[in-house]
């Protein structure tokens, strides 16, 4: 077993930390909200993010980054995309002081706006320059609410060094979450990030009262867009998008009310303004940020992603949802299979 530092004590960070402790690992959560840390340490709950649920009692929480990283063999990032770079800079300083080089694992699903970098690229730049092998990404159909109840699922763990993926597979797997290794780190990350954009579109269809056929068609064409972006812009393996991080995560995120991206889309379809939705959500809607980076990538690389571009226009150019649906269905004829 291993000493694991989990950076981020929101819903997914807390659930992953508790799961890893259930597996026999020594787990410490890092977060900057003192009240949440105190609640985890004293009551073994995190009511702000996960109602009516208790963590493994061995899990500890702290706002002291050096304490969290001391003797850590694995550092697991479970942060909003916008926070990863600044936290990574601080992690680098502490690791340099401690003189250690733990394996870095990311459960964050996003693309950084502006730089258009994946999380593994940010971690490599800020912590381990030119050493992508030290990064593992985990992604798959895994809502915190379901894993907390020990529902069955399977998740991909990807690394350019398959031995590191196998280590994560060994430490993270148990009798309710099964991990599969994948050498396509970039593809797993792209799939996990961009499916959040498609989930917003899926929620819009529900808000507009469209039926199952529309939702199935959207998910299928959405997967085609995600694959196109991954292959053309990042050199990903197209088979990855048929796996757990691709179609697996896409299905659950596009159909479950546990998905913040889906809930955001549903409310957009019902006519609510974006800022009101985000203010009331209380947690990050990654797809609303990722779509900015996707839009920039499409423009720079001439990638055809009509669903994602429509979501960008709805969110940031005040385009009308009904107009975008009409435009989508009125596009010129296209072959189904293409890059």
Residues 31-50: tens digit of each pLDDT: 999 999 999 999 999 999 99
* Nearest in space to 195 (alpha carbons), one of 113, 275, 307, 300: 307
Per-residue pLDDT of the chain (339 residues; tens, 9 = 90+): 899 999 999 999 999 999 999 999 999 999 999 999 999 999 999 999 999 999 999 999 999 999 999 999 999 999 999 999 999 999 999 999 999 999 999 999 999 999 999 999 999 999 999 999 999 999 999 999 999 999 999 999 999 999 999 999 999 999 999 999 999 999 999 999 999 999 999 999 999 999 999 999 999 999 999 999 999 999 999 999 999 999 999 999 999 999 999 999 999 999 999 999 999 988 899 999 999 999 999 999 999 999 999 999 999 999 999 999 999 999 999 999 877
Separation in Å, CA 182 to CA 40, 76, 289: 33, 18, 26
Please, are residues 113 and 85 in contact by the beta-carbon 8 Å criterion?
Answer: no
Which pLDDT does position 1 carry in this prediction?
87
Q: Do the annotations mark residue 195 as ligand-binding? A: yes
Q: Do the annotations mark residue 201 as ligand-binding? A: no
Encoded tokens for 322: 């009904």
Burial class (CB in 10 A: 0-12, 13-18, 19+), 274: middle
CATH architecture assignment, domain 3-108: 3-Layer(aba) Sandwich (3.40)
Q: Do the annotations mark residue 176 as ligand-binding? A: no
Q: Do the annotations mark residue 187 as ligand-binding? A: no
Which pLDDT does position 312 carry in this prediction?
98
What does the domain layout of the chain look like in residue ranges?
3-108, 190-329
Q: Can you name the CATH fold of 190-329?
A: 1.10.1040
Q: Do the annotations mark residue 9 as ligand-binding? A: yes
Strands of the sheet containing 153-158, edge to edge, are 60-62, 26-30, 3-7, 74-77, 103-106, 135-139, 153-158, 177-182
Instruction: Give dist(CA 229, CA 238) in Å, integer.
Output: 10
Q: Do the annotations mark residue 26 as ligand-binding? A: no
- Catalytic residue ranges: 195
Q: Do the annotations mark residue 249 as ligand-binding? A: yes
Which pLDDT does position 283 carry in this prediction?
86
Longest Cα–Cα distance in the chain: 61
């Amino acid at each position: 077993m291993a000493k694991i530092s989990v950076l981020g004590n929101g819903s997914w960070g807390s659930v992953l930390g508790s799961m890893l402790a259930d597996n026999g690992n020594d787990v410490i959560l890092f977060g900057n909200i003192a009240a949440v840390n105190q609640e985890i340490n004293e009551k073994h709950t995190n009511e702000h993010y996960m109602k009516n649920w208790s963590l493994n009692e061995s899990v500890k929480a702290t706002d002291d980054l050096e304490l969290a990283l001391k003797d850590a063999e694995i550092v697991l990032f479970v942060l909003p995309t916008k926070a990863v770079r600044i936290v990574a800079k601080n992690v680098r300083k502490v690791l340099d002081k401690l003189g250690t080089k733990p394996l870095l694992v990311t459960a964050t699903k996003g693309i950084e706006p502006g730089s258009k970098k994946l999380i593994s690229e940010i971690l490599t730049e800020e912590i381990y320059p030119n050493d992508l092998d030290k990064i593992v990404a985990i992604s798959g159909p895994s809502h915190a609410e379901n894993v907390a109840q020990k529902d069955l699922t399977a998740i991909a763990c990807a690394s350019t060094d398959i031995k590191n993926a196998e280590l994560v597979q060994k430490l993270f797997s148990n009798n309710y979450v099964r991990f599969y290794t994948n050498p396509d780190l970039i593809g797993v990350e792209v799939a996990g990030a961009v499916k959040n954009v498609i989930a917003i579109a899926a929620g819009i269809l529900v808000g507009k009262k469209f039926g199952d056929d529309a939702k199935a068609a959207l998910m299928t064409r959405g997967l085609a867009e995600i694959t196109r972006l991954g292959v053309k812009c990042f050199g990903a393996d197209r088979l990855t998008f048929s796996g757990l991080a691709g179609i697996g995560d896409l299905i659950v995120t596009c159909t479950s009310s546990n998905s913040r991206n889906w809930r955001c889309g549903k409310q957009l379809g019902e006519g609510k303004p974006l800022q009101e939705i985000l203010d009331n959500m209380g947690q990050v809607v990654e797809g609303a940020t990722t779509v900015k980076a996707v839009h920039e990538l499409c423009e720079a690389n001439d990638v055809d992603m009509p669903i994602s571009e429509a979501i960008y226009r709805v969110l940031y150019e005040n385009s009308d949802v009904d107009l975008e649906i009409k435009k989508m269905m009125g596009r010129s004829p296209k072959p189904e299979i293409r890059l």
